[in-house]
Amino acid sequence: MGLACILINSATAQEISDNKFGKGLINFVAKDSSFSVRFAPRIQSRFNTRWNYNGDSYDAAEYNFSIRRARLKFDGFAYTPKLKYKIELGLSNRDVSGASQFNRNTPRIILDAVVMWNFYENFELWAGQTKLPGNVERVVSSANLQLIDRSLLNSNFNIDRDVGIQLRHETNLGGNFWTREKVAVSQGEGRNITQGNEGGLQYTGRLEFLPFGKFASKGDYTQGDLKREASPKLMIGITYDYNNDAVKTRSNLGSYMFLEDGSLYETDITTFFADAMFKYKGFAVMTEYASRDAEAPIVREADGTETGEIVRVGNAFNGQASYLFKSNYEITGRFTTTDYKMVTGRAPEDQYTLGVSKYIVGHKLKVQGDVSYTTLDGSEDNIMVRTGFELHF
């Protein structure tokens, strides 16, 4: 009886909010407009099936259920709308793994913790930990993908997140023609590093061209044409990244390159991206090219002995096209090819992916599935089928 009374009182005490699904679970603005907070948790669930080719036939299927992403997102402004912030925390195993001596052997919970200050006209200064201005596929949020996950190009060559500062600016060249300029100086070892700075710093520059005007709702950084652009929209971007005295096998990602005496091997690593995003009336195309090189990619001891570690150098191309039907079903095709330099000992890969998405509330609530066929050095490698859903308040 007592429990029933508590439940009834709790139900009658609930407040009715005018928030809409997909706009944040909590949206709060101070009465004096001195700050705001939006809280938006999200969940991505996955089911993967994979058949590996053993040279004569395919092995028995491998199955895997997982919570790919479970995150808590906060954003808003402080003191003035010109001073914004973003905090994103990861809770899934994939997000928090990677404890090492360089982060005091603790889980890597923080994904983003960044302050963005619009200090003058179209200039913004960013400070903290967030994504570097790298390839467009990586900068698109994992919540806004049109396939189950990103491509092989991204998993092998992206520059991800880092701690540092960024300066961003946009310029109107006349009419609808805009450019965006982005530069970053960061630590060069990826996210959640707390123990000093090994090697040198990382320098990133990106230039974007929008000749036909801006996309609706920042659509150049979401996949699929969910806004059904009424006129053609195009974004072309180029990025150059230089990691001075890098100490990891994939620039600011991968494993640390330890030498026998416990010190770290250092080499300069450069990464280049060229990409484009096009959208028009439900049709969308995204293309990317990536290239990575290193001054001395083979890790060697002082006496010249090879340790077995090698910087992942090479290049890759990724292209995907999609069409969104009026029923909010979307069909997407993707082709990715990677070609590593001979010193890596890695065989080239080609991957073909076909996916279907059903958008219930845009990218905020969707169900997806895709099938991929991958060849390794021109031979059969594996077939992979994936399904998943996204729930994002």
Distance CA 104, CA 101 (A): 5
* 252: its two tokens: 């600011």
Name the pLDDT band for 29 (thresholds 50, 70, 90): very high
Q: Which 3 state secondary structure label does DSSP give 329?
A: strand
Q: What is the pLDDT of residues 63-95, one digit of tens each?
A: 999 999 999 999 999 999 999 999 999 999 999
Question: If you classify domain 94-392 with CATH, what class do you get?
Answer: mainly beta
pLDDT, tens digit (0-9, with 9 covering 90-100), for 339-393? 999 999 999 999 999 999 999 999 999 999 999 999 999 888 899 999 999 999 9
Tokens of residue 183, six digits: 């530069």
Q: What is the reported pTM? A: 0.93
DSSP type of residue 188: S
CB distance 147 to 154 below 8 Å: no
pLDDT band at residue 12 under the 50/70/90 scheme: very low
Cross-strand partners of 287: 276, 319
| Pairwise CA distance, residues 73 & 219, whole Å | 20
Look up residue 194 and give its amino acid: T
Contacts of 230 (CB under 8 A, 6+ apart): 281
- The pLDDT value recorded for residue 20 is 86
Evaluate whether 321 touches 353 at the Cβ level (below 8 Å): no
| pLDDT, the chain, mean | 94
Give the mean pLDDT of 113-134.
98
Q: Which two tokens stand for residue 194?
A: 């707390």
pLDDT at 372: 98
Q: Answer whether 384's CB lies under 8 Å from 351's CB.
A: no
CB 68 within 8 A of CB 44: yes
CA distance 141 to 217: 14
Q: pLDDT-based confidence at 19, cuts 50/70/90?
A: confident
Position 306 pLDDT exceeds 60:
yes
User: pLDDT category, 15, cuts 50, 70, 90?
Assistant: low
By percentage, how much of the chain surpasses pLDDT 70? Answer: 95
- Rounded to an integer, what distance in angstroms lies between the CA atom of residue 342 and that of residue 154? 20
Look at residue 53 in the predicted model and tell me its pLDDT.
Answer: 87
Model pLDDT, residue 13: 46
Q: Looking at residue 376, what is its pLDDT? A: 93
Type of residue found at 284: A
> Can you tell me whether residue 293 is helix, strand or coil?
strand
User: What pLDDT, on a 0 to 100 scale, did the predictor assign at position 268?
Assistant: 98
CB 156 within 8 A of CB 250: yes
Q: What is the pLDDT of residue 3?
A: 45
- Could you tell me if 52 and 58 are in contact, meaning their C-beta atoms sit under 8 angstroms apart? yes
Distance of CA 149 to the CA centre of its chain: 10
What is the pLDDT at residue 10? 43
Q: Residues 355, 148: contact at Cβ < 8 Å?
A: yes
Beta strands 248-250 and 62-78 are unpaired
Contact present, 39 and 88 (Cβ < 8 Å): no
Q: What is the pLDDT of residues 276-288, one digit of tens each?
A: 999 999 999 999 9
Q: By percentage, how much of the chain surpasses pLDDT 90? A: 88
DSSP string over 356-384: EEEEEETBTEEEEEEEEEEEETTEEEEEE
Per-residue pLDDT, 83: 98
Q: Do residues 320 and 332 make contact, with C-beta atoms less than 8 angstroms apart? A: yes
Q: 344 — alpha (psi -120 to 50), left (phi > 0) or beta?
A: alpha
